[in-house]
């Protein structure tokens, strides 16, 4: 295995999509408590292009991608519970590659009833779970506004809030309204038709998966002592204080949130939706451009690397 090379997308310098270079790299070797995966599908997250642009720092060079789904092809020392041939998904640093290694503690068995593409999208669910339950402490009967509800994080947040018995208000383009109602939203607000502030009654919690001006504007729809959980940027502390509400950062990542999401998935209490699949690996630049352009859609973008 050590002398073999595999295709992988490599980034040597920050910049545009042209920085995503398809190269041959040595096949990684799993260390203790790690597995080697044949990556069937990689999730394409907004953070992938933000890192590529240098908006957040990442040591160079690197292979992009933070999550995926695939088949175990080798196990490191001390690995129990996974064997060669197992179908798994989870957090994989460097998932834009034909093969990648990952620690077993962030690997989960792919349920047979979902596809590899669907299983490659669960990072958004982990973010949603952490924001709703670790940070906002969402409980039954509360009113929650989910900004960016049709996206990779939002569509999971809607399902989780519905399961909890919250009253769920979702912002989305008109064409995504039926999708979000089917996931459990009580109201869908077309943010393009009129300012969302003019369309809803006050809420206990806002989950902001949009950012920009939406973050500060979201303060206005909170009840006194309400909580804004921000995933993209924090509002001005002065504005939050002046509005009499709390603003918290929602980007928590814990093993506990991954386990909670896996349990919801196995119990079919959440379902992943794939917006669009790009393939093969050389389509990575097109996939990131599509993510970066925004645009309307339902669920998550996926890069398909191998046939199942
Ligand atoms: N801090 C963290 O740990 C963390 C983790 C994950 C994600 N994030 C960030 O959260 C953001 C969302 O991630 P994602 O994966 O969900 O992105 P995504 O899948 O690209 O979601 C984009 C969605 O945002 C919606 N949207 C755009 N402008 C809107 C507006 N003004 N009001 C309401 N909805 C709007 C669009 O909905 P329509 O199609 O309905 O128009 C689109 O479907 C990204 O900036 C990402 O970097 C942060």
- With the most atoms of ligand 1 within 8 angstroms of its CB, the residue from 200, 209, 228, 229 to mutate is 209
User: For the chain, which residues make up each domain, given as ranges?
Assistant: 5-122+272-304, 124-249
CB 148 near ligand 1, within 6 Å: yes
CB 230 near ligand 1, within 6 Å: no
Of all protein residues, the one whose alpha carbon is nearest to atom 48 of ligand 1 is: 231
Q: How far is the CA of 150 from the centre of ligand 1 (A)?
A: 8
Percent of the chain topping pLDDT 90: 94
Q: How far is the CA of 152 from the centre of ligand 1 (A)?
A: 7
Percent of the chain topping pLDDT 70: 99
Average pLDDT estimate for 77-106: 97
Q: How far is the CA of 251 from the centre of ligand 1 (A)?
A: 13
In CATH terms, the fold of domain 5-122+272-304 is Quinone Oxidoreductase; Chain A, domain 1 (3.90.180)
Q: How far is the CA of 72 from the centre of ligand 1 (A)?
A: 31
Of all protein residues, the one whose alpha carbon is nearest to atom 25 of ligand 1 is: 148
CB 172 near ligand 1, within 6 Å: yes
What pLDDT is stored for residue 236 in this prediction? 85
Q: How far is the CA of 151 from the centre of ligand 1 (A)?
A: 5
Mean pLDDT is lowest, of 13-17, 244-248, 250-254, for 250-254
- With the most atoms of ligand 1 within 8 angstroms of its CB, the residue from 42, 43, 44, 46 to mutate is 46
Cα dihedral: 61, 275, 271, 218 (round 10): 80
Tens digits of residue pLDDT in 163-190: 999 999 999 999 999 999 999 999 999 9
Average pLDDT estimate for 206-221: 97
Q: How far is the CA of 73 from the centre of ligand 1 (A)?
A: 34
What pLDDT is stored for residue 46 in this prediction? 97
What pLDDT is stored for residue 251 in this prediction? 84
Q: Is the pLDDT of residue 294 over 90?
A: no
What pLDDT is stored for residue 308 in this prediction? 81
- With the most atoms of ligand 1 within 8 angstroms of its CB, the residue from 120, 136, 151, 297 to mutate is 151
CB 296 near ligand 1, within 6 Å: yes
As assigned by CATH, the class of the 124-249 domain is alpha beta
What pLDDT is stored for residue 235 in this prediction? 84
pTM of the predicted structure, to 2 decimals: 0.97
CB 30 near ligand 1, within 6 Å: no
Structure token pair of residue 104: 């077993």
Q: How far is the CA of 294 from the centre of ligand 1 (A)?
A: 8
Of all protein residues, the one whose alpha carbon is nearest to atom 15 of ligand 1 is: 152
Of all protein residues, the one whose alpha carbon is nearest to atom 39 of ligand 1 is: 296
């Amino acid at each position: 295995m050590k002398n073999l090379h595999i295709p992988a997308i490599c980034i040597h310098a920050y910049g545009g999509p042209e920085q995503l270079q398809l190269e041959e790299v040595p096949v990684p070797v799993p260390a203790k408590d790690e597995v080697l995966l044949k990556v069937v599908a990689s999730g394409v997250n907004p953070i992938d292009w933000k890192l590529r642009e240098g908006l957040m720092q990442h040591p160079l060079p690197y292979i992009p991608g933070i999550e995926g789904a695939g088949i175990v092809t080798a196990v490191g020392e001390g690995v129990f519970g996974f064997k060669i041939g197992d179908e798994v998904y989870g957090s994989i640093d460097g998932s834009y590659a034909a093969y990648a290694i990952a620690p077993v503690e962030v690997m989960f068995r792919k349920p047979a009833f979902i596809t590899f593409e669907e299983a490659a999208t669960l990072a958004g669910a982990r973010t949603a779970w952490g924001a709703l339950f670790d940070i906002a402490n969402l409980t039954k009967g509360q009113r929650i506004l989910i900004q960016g509800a049709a996206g990779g994080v939002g569509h999971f947040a809607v399902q989780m809030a519905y399961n909890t018995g919250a009253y769920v208000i979702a912002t989305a383009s008109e064409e995504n309204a039926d999708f979000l109602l089917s996931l459990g939203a009580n109201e869908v607000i077309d943010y393009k038709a009129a300012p969302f502030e003019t369309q809803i009654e006050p809420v206990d919690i806002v989950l902001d998966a949009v950012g920009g001006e939406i973050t500060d504007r979201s303060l206005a729809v909170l009840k006194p002592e309400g909580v804004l959980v921000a995933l993209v940027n924090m509002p001005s502390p002065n504005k939050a204080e002046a509005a009499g509400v709390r603003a918290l950062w929602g980007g928590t990542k814990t093993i506990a949130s991954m386990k909670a999401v896996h349990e919801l998935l196995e119990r079919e209490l959440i379902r992943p939706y794939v917006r669009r699949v790009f393939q093969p690996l050389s389509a990575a630049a097109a996939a990131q451009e599509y993510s970066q352009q925004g645009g309307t859609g339902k669920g998550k973008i996926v890069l398909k690397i191998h046939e199942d």
